[in-house]
Structure 1
């Protein structure tokens, strides 16, 4: 771009009327020739370097201060989120605030913009192109399928016409055959009657001749056959066939002929998620929004001395564990205990999970096993030598994720198991540093819908999220201000249908909600006290196990 053409549209920073012709490389001010002298004497402590506008430095132009007119801002106040000038710094307005050079803010802003540009260019734009191509293909396919559908309906109609024509011909042939038979019967009957008529006429003529006879002897001996004709011929009533009309009623006829399913195009059934090489495809699910104020729907008393964990069997039944060896199954709607299971070791289970098939899995830290309850029988599923299980979850693929620390309390790993077979272990980040704190600690694990592995590590005061391959995605260390302004104390962890990660914060009496990229979204603290265990049912209702109150609270937070 020609710099002279740019200056033609710019006005002097002092008079705001004349066109820019000069510039001060020291103050980074744009000037007209008439205002050069005024600028030179405005601050004699500086060595002003006046140059033609076209020869000015390519340094960034610092913004004017909102509080001090015509003063440029070289610093930025993080607390106030505004640029500040030297005069602002000399005042008490920003005393004790975190101040950084505005060029650093500019650099971070540029990096953010470049990152967003890269995402637009490499991910979003290609994704929209793919979507447009997919829609175009769908339109072509839709046109072809509708044409095929119309052709199939026409062919089906033609088939019906052929069958109807065959049926009509068959019925008409039967009518013709019946007509011929009955007509022949009547014809034969007519022939018999005509013969009788002829015989009667002959009889009449014969009698007329005999009546005129003089010979008495012959007349006396004449006999007639009148008695044989007094019985009239039988009247034949042909039984005509009747055609029983089949009723053509709309619904029944449609069922007989066939109909179209009421399948229409629905937008929420087309999943056009942004494509990423690091993320697994997510299920196409309807979007849900947070409700303004989360509300407690149900409160269930468990009668434990202290309550630790909760796991959803279904939308009405939950498994719970407390400070004894009993795992209890409750009905939420009935508010009653359905069954109890005691651990084999008689120690309290450290964590529980429910498989896709509805089987219960529990972690027994004291004897170092992971156990599964099938058909009312407890079976040992995993025991890894020199490692102690700490947390468990069942994945969407039917596998298991376990947190374990070694006997030396020096290492902690996440293990993936298929049944009793180890398939994967996750321990270090890309720099070779441990992902998780070592030794015994409150840790819970779950899988997000994008297949990320999410671990709440109470000892590290962090939620650690890695992708399916075990690569670190982010660490979430809490949000300020917390409801009670206490340090982040993560405990139970769960994920919902939207990919949100929910973590119980025991000390702050709340639940943190973050998105699948680690950004804080909301707190849930509607009367929660000492939350420890979490689970979410298929309807996205949140269940919170409260440690001290021994209650499970069902909370609605999505609409």
Structure 2
């Protein structure tokens, strides 16, 4: 199936044609379970208002990297054992983490305005920014990586695609010269979907912005649904996507996770199941959802497909 997908991509002649809105039809879609099941619930060294857990990234189905209100980054197994840890040079919290296709770890450091890569215990700076502050980072299907960033005066938001340390292009303006993404200072997370859309969760805007590979705004999701009335305003604190192009959004203030399809249609919530302040989200290769709980410091592995 991966070979079929790669052949399709190679047959396209331009970035505009990269908008493979029907790519997921190659996969036999699975039904969402009526009641998601928590398969694992592990404790970490995080917990509390001054020791928040922000991010989780899957190394594989049994090991996850974590970062939060520490300058260290930790690798855990599903028993809650620390397998590795290393100290960064950041004097602030790490903004986001991601695992490359070869298993290396990327992290963004807002204090040093850098994107860094970790190989074993060696840390190298890939990107050093001057006028921009890096936030979320994700790995694209091509092996490139995307970084969401804000200007140092907080007036602009930008998404930049890199191949190694080389900038390929940025996404900031629409065809009318207006900003695609709202300004603001809170951390903005992003994920490339299977159909190559770029999905950016923006707590300042209380919205998820979805932009096509052709750099056109496809839709904005604001958390509204007729199936439930939110107690608090929608607060998209984390985002991920799965193998069927579904978008999963952590809503920390309402203590739920939204699931919408690639065309913005709301599908369901993951709620209750003892979820507390969900923030960081990742889906592994088998579509298990890992949820980092900000204030409890726990990571839950949830099965949400039948």
TM-score normalized with structure 2 length: 0.89
Instruction: Give the superposition deviation at 1:445.
Output: 0.6
Unmatched 5+ stretches in structure 1 = 1-268
Matched ranges for 1:491-530 at <5 A: 491-525=237-271, 526-530=273-277
Matched ranges for 1:331-346 at <5 A: 331-332=77-78, 334-346=79-91
Instruction: Give the superposition deviation at 1:347.
Output: 2.9
Distance 2:219 2:17 in 1: 17
Asked whether the 8 Å contact 1:310–1:543 carries over to 2, the reply is yes
Report how many aligned residue pairs link the two structures: 288
**Given the superposition, is the C-alpha separation of residues 396 and 278 from structure 1 closer, same or farther in structure 2, using an over 3 Å criterion?**
closer
Matched ranges for 1:185-204 at <5 A: none
Residue by residue over 1:496-542, the C-alpha shift from the partner in whole angstroms, topping out at 9 and shown as x without a partner, is 01100000001110000000011111100122111110000011000
Instruction: Give the superposition deviation at 1:434.
Output: 1.4
Distance 1:270 1:452 in 2: 19
Residue 457 (str. 1) matches residue 202 (str. 2): yes
Name which structure has the greater RCO, CA cutoff 8 Å, separation 6+.
2
Residue 409 (str. 1) matches residue 154 (str. 2): yes
Greater fraction of residues in helix: 1
Residue by residue over 1:122-144, the C-alpha shift from the partner in whole angstroms, topping out at 9 and shown as x without a partner, is xxxxxxxxxxxxxxxxxxxxxxx
Which residue is equivalent to 1:396? 141
Residue by residue over 1:273-298, the C-alpha shift from the partner in whole angstroms, topping out at 9 and shown as x without a partner, is 9x995622736433211011111111
Which one of the candidate residues 306, 324, 327 is aligned to 2:70? 324
Instruction: Give the superposition deviation at 1:444.
Output: 0.3
Which residue is equivalent to 1:385? 130
Give the secondary-structure state (helix, strand or coil) at the position aligned to 1:296: strand
Distance 2:153 2:53 in 1: 29
Unmatched 5+ stretches in structure 2 = none
Which residue is equivalent to 1:291? 33
Which residue is equivalent to 2:303? 556
Distance 1:487 1:521 in 2: 19
Which residue is equivalent to 1:537? 284
Asked whether the 8 Å contact 2:240–2:247 carries over to 1, the reply is yes
Which residue is equivalent to 1:279? 19
Residue by residue over 1:470-489, the C-alpha shift from the partner in whole angstroms, topping out at 9 and shown as x without a partner, is 11111011123546422110
Residue by residue over 1:236-281, the C-alpha shift from the partner in whole angstroms, topping out at 9 and shown as x without a partner, is xxxxxxxxxxxxxxxxxxxxxxxxxxxxxxxxx999x9x9956227
Give the secondary-structure state (helix, strand or coil) at the position aligned to 1:350: strand
Residue 425 (str. 1) matches residue 166 (str. 2): no
Greater fraction of residues in strand: 2
Asked whether the 8 Å contact 1:388–1:406 carries over to 2, the reply is yes
Residue 546 (str. 1) matches residue 287 (str. 2): no
Distance 2:184 2:220 in 1: 19
Look at both structures and tell me which one has the larger radius of gyration over its CA atoms.
1
Asked whether the 8 Å contact 2:137–2:146 carries over to 1, the reply is yes
Instruction: Give the superposition deviation at 1:441.
Output: 1.4
Give the secondary-structure state (helix, strand or coil) at the position aligned to 2:117: strand
Residue 370 (str. 1) matches residue 110 (str. 2): no
TM-score normalized with structure 1 length: 0.50
Residue 347 (str. 1) matches residue 92 (str. 2): yes
